[in-house]
């Protein structure tokens, strides 16, 4: 597919406001499809199909592809250029306002689907969060994101972030390929990476109240330069001495910082916070 020719033919200028950088490198496109490990039984939700270069490759491997595109101009191009692909459905909409289960017209929570996407840099975290907290989560996500974001998502304790905890809480992320800026048109200012996230049926750590768990985690990362005792105290409006007691019971040094904790340690801190709350009610 000649992206530049299509843009000229349909008189379209890429919109910076939508983060439109079209992937034109064929080998990079193929790497994305390979990472998704598709078969004829697979249902794929593609986010941001652009001009359809990746969509064609997905349609050749998967049973059905539902492609959601925000830009109405590109929707018209896709509907004209992909008419020969009966297993592709083009939907005009904002993925952040759509429920994947409704979008894919599937009922119940036993159906499975995969997500493949070239995500705009400015909205990457929001889309990932939306998919991970959806009524029915995908079983696999393969996405092209900014290289630095990919590194943050796959970070280990010592360099963790709220984004890393949020993703690793639900699944196992890994970088499968690096893509140079020149593989896109127009070229962004930074390199990208293809990241694969294998999602589990249940969170990686045992937590029975996800909202309250992340309330604690967000508080810890809100002031990441502070010691955990002080960050949690400020974020949860609790006395620092009380927070220190909670951390000690969780076997976490109160002087540590949020980025050093593993998921298991966050779960221990949360459980001790829950125990503290129950004790105070009694």
Torsion angles phi and psi, residue 134, rounded to 5: -65, 160
What pLDDT, in 10s, does the model give residues 154-205? 999 999 999 999 999 999 999 999 999 999 999 999 999 999 999 988 889 9
Q: Give the residue range(s) of CATH 3.40.50.150 domains in the chain.
A: 3-199
Average pLDDT (7-23) is 91
Instruction: Specify whether domain 210-281 bears CATH 3.40.50.450.
Output: no
Look at 101 and 142; give whichever has higher pLDDT. 142
CA 138/CA 38 separation, integer angstroms:
14
**Greatest Cα pair distance in the chain:** 71
Residue 215 tokens, joined? 């309330």
- Assign a CATH topology to domain 3-199: Rossmann fold (3.40.50)
Instruction: Look at the alpha carbons of 145, 118, 16, 95 in this order and tell me if their dihedral is positive or negative.
Output: negative
Look-up of token digits 């299509």: 6
Q: Give the residue range(s) of CATH 1.10.8.100 domains in the chain.
A: 210-281
Q: Is the pLDDT confidence value at 42 over 70?
A: yes
CA 266/CA 209 separation, integer angstroms:
13
Per the DSSP assignment, residues forming a β-bridge with 172 are: 198
Closest CA to 16 of 148, 122, 98: 122
């Amino acid at each position: 597919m000649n992206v530049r020719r299509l843009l000229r033919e349909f008189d379209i200028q890429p919109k910076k406001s939508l983060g439109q950088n079209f992937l034109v490198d064929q080998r990079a496109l193929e790497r994305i499809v390979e990472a998704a490990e598709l078969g004829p039984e697979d249902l794929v939700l593609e986010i941001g199909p652009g001009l359809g270069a990746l969509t064609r490759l997905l349609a050749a491997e998967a049973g059905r592809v539902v492609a959601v595109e925000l830009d109405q101009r590109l929707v018209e191009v896709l509907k004209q250029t992909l008419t020969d692909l009966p297993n592709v459905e083009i939907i005009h909409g904002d993925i952040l306002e759509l429920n994947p289960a409704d979008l894919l017209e599937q009922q119940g929570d036993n159906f499975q689907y995969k997500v493949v996407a070239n995500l705009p840099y400015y909205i990457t975290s929001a889309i990932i969060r939306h998919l991970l907290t959806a009524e029915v989560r995908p079983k696999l996500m393969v996405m092209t994101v900014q290289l630095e974001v990919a590194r943050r998502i796959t970070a280990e304790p010592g360099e963790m972030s709220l984004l890393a905890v949020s993703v690793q809480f639900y699944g196992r992320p890994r970088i499968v390929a690096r893509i140079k800026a020149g593989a896109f048109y127009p070229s962004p200012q930074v390199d990208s990476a293809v990241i694969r996230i294998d999602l589990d049926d249940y969170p990686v750590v045992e937590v029975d109240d996800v909202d309250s768990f992340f309330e604690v985690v967000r508080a810890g990362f809100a002031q990441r330069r502070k010691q955990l005792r002080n960050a949690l105290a400020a974020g949860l409006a609790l006395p620092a001495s009380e927070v220190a007691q909670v951390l000690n019971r969780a076997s976490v040094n109160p002087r540590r910082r949020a980025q050093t904790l593993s998921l298991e340690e966050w779960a221990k801190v949360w459980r001790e916070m829950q125990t503290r709350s129950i004790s105070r009610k009694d």
